[in-house]
Structure 1
Amino acid sequence: MNRCAIEVMGDIGDIILAYGQSDEYSFIIPKSSSLFSRRSSKISSTIVSLFASNYVMHWSEYFGDSKLQYAPCFDSRIVCYPNDKILKDYLSWRQADCHINNLYNTTFWALVKSGLSETAAENRLMGTFAKDKNEILFTEFGINYNNIEPIYRKGSTIIRKMTEVTSISPNTGEEVKRIKLIPTAIYVDIIGEGFWQEHPELLEE
């Protein structure tokens, strides 16, 4: 999923940020963009078709000889947020949802792996809060949730980062090093102000 999003950002330069968790990705296009004359149907159909085609193209790089069982299909929609604050609120909600879902799933499958049926695990977690799930993970399975890889706890944020790229000059055959803005996945907190202060270029207001 991250590779697909990176390829989409590589093809569509107007996308300034993408956020993904599970099987969902959000692509952010700034208010100043005139991509496809801001036709929502054109933007939506292009992004989702590019994403799906990259999913097929790069499948074997990640799953080897394990073949796709059916053609992947993704739905899409366009939402126009009126200002940066609401955009940040939306992205914060997406990351909070990632944390909630991952904490539940981590605890659920730990219980199932320990011998409980899926129904029993669901019943055990019914009505529990985050602190209860953290307690189950730590006391029963020795898992400190904060030590789980951040890609699972925080989801994937893709931004364009200054990266040194090496290529071969067609004229001299020598290596040439250049600095380019490359779409790169990072796994950081985007709810607090620190991320936005570090990347003020992402906001227009």
Structure 2
Amino acid sequence: MAGSKFAYVKNFELPDPLLPGTFMVLRVDGHAFHRLSEEHNFTKPNDERALQLMDHAARDVMNEFKDIVLAFGESDEFSFLFRKSTTLYNRRQAKILTTVTSIFTSSYVYNWPKYLPNTPLKYPPSFDGRIVLYPSAKDVRNYFSWRQADTHINNLYNTVFWALVLQGGETTTQAHATLRGTVSSTKHEMMFSRFGINYTDISPRYRKGSILVRMEIPPEPEADVEPASGKISEVIESGADPTSKPKTAKKNVKIRTFIELLHCDLIGDEFWEARPHLLSE
């Protein structure tokens, strides 16, 4: 396209490359989702349908960007881990951030009727996003451990809080006052003694969050097929030494992957040791 006298304005666009050789984590977070859950009568303390919708949107993002190897979601947020070697959009921060956030948001809105068919959207939900770079695999593990620990802390509080409101007859203000200053053991005892709730019996989806992992499908072994004559003919290039071994053409094997949904512990070593490719260089 030919330039014009106005093209100089492009010089004001500054480059925003992300530091190479670092792990990239992009987190999308619901904007004002407290209001959204109230306006659309989400089940308290957890709405299975809404969480499944979040998982769907995250899966759509991972299907679009193959360099995302891991995603973790809780409540109204999802964190995506890119391969350390990713060169997506030349690692341009604004391009990556806006595209991922917009795909997640559009998927969430588009698939809303599938998960909440009897709850029409009253207004468009929105998400914000941020990218954080981490220098080491240890930092990445600690980041996801932080998010899963946050999931447990929030869910424990919300579970006993809504038990006090919905079963105990307290107002939200009274429930907050009842729980002020309590430790985890006190919350567990309160749930069990007053409401018969054993926290360990609650779905791991709520206690552990959602983990989406990109797993590789091992390639199928190629069958050895011999010609009908039983002889193998070799094509020798012109000018080649007939006594030398023929060159074997290398095939570019395209690795296929699938996305697995888990609700398990990722703070311990077992999860990461079973999936070393997630943090490979």
The two structures have a TM-score, normalised by structure 2, of 0.66
Moved over 4 A (4+): none
- Structure-1 separation of matches of 2:118 and 2:207: 30
Alignment of 1:130 with 2:184, yes or no, is yes
Give a deviation string over 1:175-202, Cα, whole Å, max 9, x none. Answer: xxxx952223210000000100111110
Aligned pair partner of 1:146 in 187, 190, 200: 200
Percent of aligned positions with the same letter in both sequences?
Answer: 48
Please list, as runs of the form range in 1=range in 2, the aligned pairs for 1:22-41 lying within 5 A after superposition. Answer: 22-41=75-94
Residue aligning to 1:64: 117
Which has the larger helix fraction? 1
Secondary structure of residue in 1 paired with 2:258: strand
In structure 1, what is the Cα distance between the partners aligned to 2:260 and 2:125? 24
1:157 to 205, 211, 214: 211
Alignment partner of 1:103 out of 156, 176, 183:
156
Q: Is the 8 A contact 1:21 1:98 kept in 2?
A: yes
Aligned to 2:101: 48
- The 2-side partners of 1:141 and 1:22 are apart by 24
After TM superposition, give the deviation of residue 161 of structure 1 in Å: 3.8
Tell me which of 142, 145, 152 is aligned to 1:92: 145
One-letter identity of the residue aligned with 1:147: D
Which residue of structure 2 aligns with residue 175 of structure 1?
none
CA separation in 1, counterparts of 2:177 and 2:276? 45
SS at match of 1:79: strand
The gaps in structure 2 that reach 5 residues or longer are: 1-53, 218-254
The alignment's TM-score, normalised by the length of structure 1, stands at 0.89
Between Structure 1 and Structure 2, whose CA radius of gyration is higher? 2
Structure 1: where are the runs of 5+ without partners? 164-178
Distance 1:117 1:76, change over 3 A: same
Letter in 2 for 1:111: L
Indicate conservation of the 8 Å contact 1:21/1:156, yes or no. Answer: yes
> Whole-Å Cα distance in 2 between the matches of residues 91 and 115 of structure 1?
36
Q: What is residue 197 of structure 1 aligned with on the other side?
A: 273
Give the alignment partner of residue 263 of structure 2, picking from 175, 180, 187: 187
Q: Distance in 1 between matches of 2:203 and 2:118?
A: 27
Query: Is the 1:158–1:183 Cα contact (8 Å) retained in structure 2?
Result: yes
The residue number in structure 2 matching 1:117 is 171
Q: Distance in 1 between matches of 2:151 and 2:257?
A: 27
